[in-house]
Amino acid sequence: MKKLLIGIIAMVLVMIPSSPLIYGLDDDLDPLVDLSINVVIKRVRSIDVDLTEQPSFVVKITVNGEAWESEASTGYDIINFGEHSFDIPDNEENIAITIEVIKNGVEADVSKNGKALHITYDVKRGDWYGDDWRGDESGYGHAGGHEDGNCSENDCEIWFDIIQNDYDGDGLTYWEETNIYGTDPRENDAGIDYDNDGVPIEWEDKWGYDPFKAEEHSKLDVDADGLQNVEEYMMAQWFADPFRQDIYIENDYMEEHNGITPVMPEESLQLQYSAFTKHNIMLLVDDGLMGGSETIPYEDLTWSKLGDIYDKYFLHNHEDNPRRGIFHYAIIIHDFRDFGRGVAGFNFRRDAFAVCSAYIQKWRPWHDAMIIAHGGAYMHELGHQLGLPHLRVFPWQLLYWLSWNYKSCMNYRYTFKIVDYSDGSHGFMDRDEWGNLDLQRFER
């Protein structure tokens, strides 16, 4: 009898680690694992772009008083910065997290409240709140010093994620599986689309949708950026947020000719990123980063040949290429002669434009001016993609001299001088372009 009792007790003890029924016996929030979280720093960049020197970054993370500091990394924009794992108590629902960015040895501003980012992680639900939350203006898992309205405080921005360990590795917490979804916390549900609405359970869980109630995610575009939720899901690796506007562009480059190589300097793109960031829009260009960007053989271009390039290098001869409707397409070329004069760029499709780098290099050959001119010309053409008209005036026209207050790269007067649109606050003849962008236009 004694041996039988011991055997029964042993069997019960073996069953305990894998049973979801023991929740609450000792306030253990996940009885299947020893709880920990990974704080993943996905991207760090400086909002202020110094054209003379790339900054150095260090990230400091503190979780419940335990601190970790990254190694220093140098660059304007660093992706896959690093991550660190922290043990957390098995019976505490709320975990305090602080994230600091040190730029060139000085604490940078990455928050709307003070400089450091302070958030509280909810172990039950696997999300967080505080200085960053799901649905906030700048995006979930993203924060920047621009959010306080002052962009002159050594401002940077940071993308991050917090990943809680769970027994089946599906990204759903034990509490969610047993109390909300009724799924088995011992079986991996990742990738399963239970309601057949085009996106899997873990994506709907992260963004606050009900994974067991079908939504029209192939049509839903809550943030009006031209990316439906199924496309936001497709771009999740590249920081897409269904509640913050995102713009993606693929750059292809024409090869060298007559000693000139068409370029789009990194600094030119970073200046544009910062302009959009200040208005809580994320711009990201595939310069090879996301698997696109190709070299196009040199040829004298015509409108017909531009269409051929679009089909071959952007769509890769597949009309239903999934990049169409997600990405704009830009080709960086030498020049284009069909206007009867030199031009810095032009749109040739609703979702495609060209920038004439050789023309820009000819008229702005010195370093800083070339960077700003490339950025202004590129942003000018993107502005047309987003529904902005331009002010096409020249020094021999009266309107040129009357447009002083219209400080925008859409104004020919400033295309080579400003990497920004206007907000309408400068007086006579100014326009509110930032308030009138149409990010959905490119796919209509």
pTM for this entry: 0.93
Average pLDDT over residues 292-306: 97
Average pLDDT over residues 208-213: 98
Q: Is 425 exposed, middle or buried (0-12, 13-18, 19+ CB in 10 A)?
A: exposed
Predicted confidence (pLDDT) per residue in 335-346, tens digit: 998 998 899 999
Average pLDDT over residues 281-305: 97
Q: How far from chain centre, in Å, is Cα 330?
A: 18
User: Is pLDDT of 17 > 60?
Assistant: no
Q: Quick one: pLDDT at residue 399? A: 86
C-alpha span between 50 and 77 (Å, rounded)? 12
Query: Across all residues in the chain, what is the average pLDDT?
Result: 93
User: Is pLDDT of 13 > 70?
Assistant: no
What's 378-397 look like in SS3? HHHHHHHHCCCCCECCCCCC
Q: Do 172 and 201 touch, CB atoms closer than 8 A?
A: yes
User: Is pLDDT of 4 > 90?
Assistant: no
Same fold, 36-165 and 229-443: no
At residue 270, φ and ψ (nearest 5 deg) are: -65, -35
Q: Quick one: pLDDT at residue 26? A: 60
The CATH number given to 229-443 is 3.40.390
**β-strand 117-122 against 106-107: which pairing, if any?**
unpaired
C-alpha span between 37 and 273 (Å, rounded)? 30
Q: Quick one: pLDDT at residue 19? A: 39
The H or E element spanning position 6 is helix 2-15
Q: Please state the domain extents for the chain.
A: 36-165, 229-443
Architecture of domain 36-165: Sandwich (2.60)
Q: Do 227 and 443 touch, CB atoms closer than 8 A?
A: no
User: Is pLDDT of 124 > 50?
Assistant: yes
Q: Do 82 and 71 touch, CB atoms closer than 8 A?
A: yes
Average pLDDT over residues 420-433: 96
Question: Look-up: residue for tokens 């993943």?
Answer: 40
Q: Quick one: pLDDT at residue 395? A: 85
222 — pLDDT class (breaks 50, 70, 90):
very high
Q: Quick one: pLDDT at residue 444? A: 85
Q: How far from chain centre, in Å, is Cα 199?
A: 19
Predicted confidence (pLDDT) per residue in 342-398, tens digit: 999 999 999 999 999 999 999 999 999 999 999 999 999 999 999 999 888 888 888
C-alpha span between 246 and 394 (Å, rounded)? 33
User: Is pLDDT of 18 > 50?
Assistant: no
